[in-house]
A and B are shown apart, each in its own frame.
Chain A
Amino acid sequence: MPAVKPLRVSGETQTESQTTTLTQRPWNVVVWDDPVTPMSVVVVILLKIFGYPNNKATQLMLTVHHEGRAIVWSGPLERAQGYCVKLQSAGLLSTIEQDS
């Protein structure tokens, strides 16, 4: 019994740890580039929805423009969905993805 019990406890602990790690991985809100949206419009939308300072919103817009996409926010799933919905409702191409 004593030899078995620590092994079980160890296994349970490991599983619990893996589950916790999985559920705690943040969700990313991604904005994707397109060939028509004016850069200033992307900045205004990021300012309005996230309340970012102008230089951060501009930097994110430039990342979208040059790299094709940018992670504009990371955090819990429900908030990520909420932000993605707001971005899509403002006409930007946006999705969510779990951080790898």
Chain B
Amino acid sequence: MAGRLFVRRRDGRIEVRLNDAGRAIAREAFGHVLAAEADPDHEWHASLNAPIDPSHDVDDPLATFNRQSEITSNVELAVATLGEEFLNDAEAWAWLCSLQIALRATITAKGLLSEDRLALADAPTRDYITTLQTFLFSLAEVL
């Protein structure tokens, strides 16, 4: 997966240059985000439901509903376009948001919230984090 993974074409479309393995990783990440939003027992659920106003015990229900809707809409769009060769800007944004949520949920669920803790993570976890970061770097370049 060396080189740029997402490339802005002259016609404005964003070319997805992920191979099958890369798409499988993205599929797994999107699947976890989708599952975590609906399942309170999923290890990523807490990360997707972080406090909006920590000074209150309960957040505004409308705000939390809006967040749930937005996360779900983005990840459903990302899943629907997983097999596409080209993405438009809205689809690429949905990929970026969903991959970034997966990245943060991974470190939150594993308690890797500092540089020191991150350095102690096992090799598969570090590889997974590095892979998601690589996807995100490349997506950010074209958005």
Partners in one complex: yes
Which of A38, A88, A90 meets B50, CB within 8 Å? Answer: A88
Q: Which residues of A70-100 have CB atoms within 8 Å of chain B's CB atoms?
A: 81-82, 84-86, 88-93, 95-98
Nearest residue (CB) in A for B134 is A38
Nearest residue (CB) in A for B119 is A35
Contact string against B for A residues 16-44, beta-carbon threshold 8 Å, 1 for contact and 0 otherwise: 00000000000000000011111011011
For residue B74, which residues in chain A have a CB less than 8 angstroms away from its CB? 89
CB–CB A89/B52 < 8 A: no
For residue A88, which residues in chain B have a CB less than 8 angstroms away from its CB? 50, 52, 67
Given A35-B112, A35-B114, A84-B52, A89 contacting B67 (CB threshold 8 A): yes
Q: Looking at the assembled complex, report how far the CB atom of B139 sits from the nearest CB atom of chain A, in whole angstroms.
A: 8
Size bracket of the B interface: 35 or more
Q: Is A48 in contact with chain B by the CB < 8 A criterion?
A: yes
Given A35-B118, A91-B103, A44 contacting B140 (CB threshold 8 A): yes
For residue A89, which residues in chain B have a CB less than 8 angstroms away from its CB? 67, 70-71, 74, 97, 101
CB–CB B137/A40 < 8 A: yes
CB–CB A38/B137 < 8 A: yes
Given A81-B60, A84-B63, A90 contacting B97 (CB threshold 8 A): yes
Size bracket of the A interface: 20 to 34
Q: How far apart are the CA atoms of A46 and B104 in the complex, in Å?
A: 17
Q: Which residues of B113-143 have CB atoms within 8 Å of chain A's CB atoms?
A: 113-115, 117-118, 129, 133, 136-137, 139-141, 143
Given A36-B103, A90-B100, A85 contacting B54 (CB threshold 8 A): no
Q: Is B96 in contact with chain A by the CB < 8 A criterion?
A: yes
Q: Looking at the assembled complex, report how far the CB atom of B98 sits from the nearest CB atom of chain A, in whole angstroms.
A: 8
Q: How far apart are the CA atoms of A30 and B36 in the complex, in Å?
A: 24
Q: Is B66 in contact with chain A by the CB < 8 A criterion?
A: yes
B residues apposed to A, CB below 8 Å:
50-55, 60, 63, 66-67, 70-71, 74, 93, 96-104, 107, 112-115, 117-118, 129, 133, 136-137, 139-141, 143
The 9 A-B residue pairs with the shortest CB-CB distance, nearest first, are: A91-B100, A89-B70, A40-B140, A91-B101, A85-B67, A81-B63, A44-B140, A90-B97, A41-B140
Would you list 7 pairs from A and B whose C-beta atoms are within 8 A, ordered by A residue?
A34-B107, A40-B137, A41-B96, A41-B140, A43-B140, A91-B103, A97-B53
